[in-house]
Structure 1
Amino acid sequence: MKRQFVTTENTLRFLEGFSALEKRGAEEACLMVVDGVPGLGKTSIIEWWAGQTGSVFLRAKKEWKPNWLLSELIEALGQVPRHGFEKRFKQATEILANKHEQFSMDRRPFAVVIDEIDHISNSEKMLETLRDLSDTLELPFIFVGMGKVRTRLTKFPQIASRVGQYVQFQDVSLDDVLAMAKNLCEVPIKRDLIEFLHRASRRKMREIKEGLSSIERFGAINPGKEIGLDEMAGKLLLNDRITGKPILVTADGFGGDNE
């Protein structure tokens, strides 16, 4: 498949949420939470956005401690971390302040993204370190995780009160799959097979990409054909996320309803 980013409805949800965060009334409310069940493309979308804007993208670790977090943050900003928590905190705030000022002057968005925030969402110490950075700089921090993040943050009112925007990713729409098939695949695909894939994938991004790859492989050995249910009947489309069982294409389009 082509290595190309396709804007989806979840992409637009994220962009709208960040735009609203930038227009917030309370400057200290500069945290953003992006959540949703696994498989909706949260990481790929927000990592793409961070790359496009020049923002910082970090993945939280289960064993993260504040000093380790600051070290990775400073390294992501292109500098060598100093020794000691206080020196690293000061170093991180100085670099981020300069970055924030530069991007603001250029009217460009800038934020620090923490993916897999679930790993530290029960740690008051870790969350307070991030809040201290955000408060000090009035700089957007984006927390990306699964649906439990919102509930966990309510245990820390001083953190939850700083969340200016919540964005929840939704199941991938049929229009999204149609756009992906058109822009990513090297072979033409009929709508009936795209609709079957949409159902069979449980509307999850990972499975949709797996299915599109299967269709493209089939198309490569059957050149010149538009691939639909009839052409691919009986062939493997993808593996069911929950049961692990293979899902085969059916000529009548039945059997792809995964709920």
Structure 2
Amino acid sequence: MRPTFVKTENFNRFLAGLLAMKDRGAQECCFLILDGDPGLGKTTIINRWVTQEGGIYLRAKKEWTAAWMLRELLGELKTSPEYSFEKMYRQAVRELSRRSAEAERDGSTFALVVDEADHICRRESMLETLRDLSDHLEIPVILVGMGRIRDSLTRYRQISSRVAQPVEFKPCSLADVQALVKGLCEVEVAEDLVEQLLHLSKGYTREIKEGIAAIERLGRRSPGHVIDCAAMDGVQLLIDRRTGNPIKVRAER
């Protein structure tokens, strides 16, 4: 499989959300929520964007505290943390301000990204620390979760009022699957198999990539051939993650 990043409709939704946040009227609206079921490519897309733009990526933990979060943030900022929360907060403000100014000079969009933010979306102390950093520096904070963040934040008006634009990731369209197959798959794939891959994967990026790998395994045994449903009839394309059972290609009879 080619190590290529393919721009999908979800990627475009994310960029549109960023643009809407940049165009916000109130300067304190610096939170962007990126929500959606697991397997829709959120982490892949956000990591790609962070790498390109030079932002900061953190992955929330179930037992995170505000101090633990600041220590990890300072680690990503290549700064040795002080011992008190107050000093760590000041360090974070200083380093984030420096990185934000550098990004502005370079024409980049600097942001602090917290993945798996479902772990912290009901913990006011964590959210308040992020709000303080965002308000103080006017830098975007992107909260990435699995479909529950927006609902959880409604209880915290001081946070929810700062959400400039929620972005919901959705299952891939046929055009997305066509683009993923064209960009990633190293064998030629017929349209009927692309359509079945969409149907069997239900549009989940994780499953689509798993299916592409299965197609490649068969395709390498028949170099130069276009792989269609007939060629893969009865061959396992995916594994049902709930049951562990194989999901096989079925050619039309």
Give the distance between the partners of 2:102 and 2:181, measured in 1 at CA.
39
Give the distance between the partners of 2:103 and 2:212, measured in 1 at CA.
38
| Higher mean C-alpha deviation, range 31-40 or range 236-245 | 236-245
Counterpart amino acid of residue 78 in structure 1:
K
Counterpart amino acid of residue 43 in structure 1:
T
Q: Residues 54 and 103 of structure 2 are in contact (CA less than 8 Å); yes or no, is this contact kept in structure 1?
A: no
Q: TM-score of the superposition, structure 1-length normalised?
A: 0.95
CA positional deviation for 1:102: 1.9
Counterpart amino acid of residue 80 in structure 2:
V
Partner of 1:256: none
1:177-256 to structure 2, matched below 5 A, reads: 177-252=177-252
Give the distance between the partners of 1:137 and 1:236, measured in 2 at CA.
51
Give the distance between the partners of 1:124 and 1:191, measured in 2 at CA.
49
Partner of 1:148: 148
Partner of 1:115: 115
Runs of 4+ in 1 over 4 A off after TM superposition: none
Q: Residues 207 and 241 of structure 1 are in contact (CA less than 8 Å); yes or no, is this contact kept in structure 2?
A: no
Give the distance between the partners of 1:242 and 1:21, measured in 2 at CA.
37
1:93-133 deviation line (CA, Å, top 9, x unaligned): 00011111221233211100000000111101111111111
1:170-191 deviation line (CA, Å, top 9, x unaligned): 1111111111111111100000
3-state SS, counterpart of residue 232 of structure 1: coil
Partner of 2:23: 23
Give the distance between the partners of 2:94 and 2:62, measured in 1 at CA.
27
Partner of 2:72: 72
CA positional deviation for 1:241: 3.0
1:47-82 deviation line (CA, Å, top 9, x unaligned): 110011101011000011111100110111122111
Partner of 2:125: 125
Give the distance between the partners of 1:20 and 1:26, measured in 2 at CA.
12
Q: TM-score of the superposition, structure 2-length normalised?
A: 0.98
CA positional deviation for 1:243: 3.0
Counterpart amino acid of residue 227 in structure 2:
I
Q: Residues 153 and 160 of structure 1 are in contact (CA less than 8 Å); yes or no, is this contact kept in structure 2?
A: yes
1:32 aligned to 2:47? no
1:14 aligned to 2:14? yes
Partner of 2:51: 51
Q: Residues 229 and 249 of structure 1 are in contact (CA less than 8 Å); yes or no, is this contact kept in structure 2?
A: yes
Give the distance between the partners of 1:76 and 1:173, measured in 2 at CA.
35
Unaligned runs of 5+ residues in structure 2 are none
Give the distance between the partners of 2:240 and 2:173, measured in 1 at CA.
18
Give the distance between the partners of 1:105 and 1:221, measured in 2 at CA.
51
Counterpart amino acid of residue 153 in structure 1:
L
Identity %: 50
Unaligned runs of 5+ residues in structure 1 are 254-259
CA positional deviation for 1:196: 0.3
Give the distance between the partners of 2:243 and 2:207, measured in 1 at CA.
13
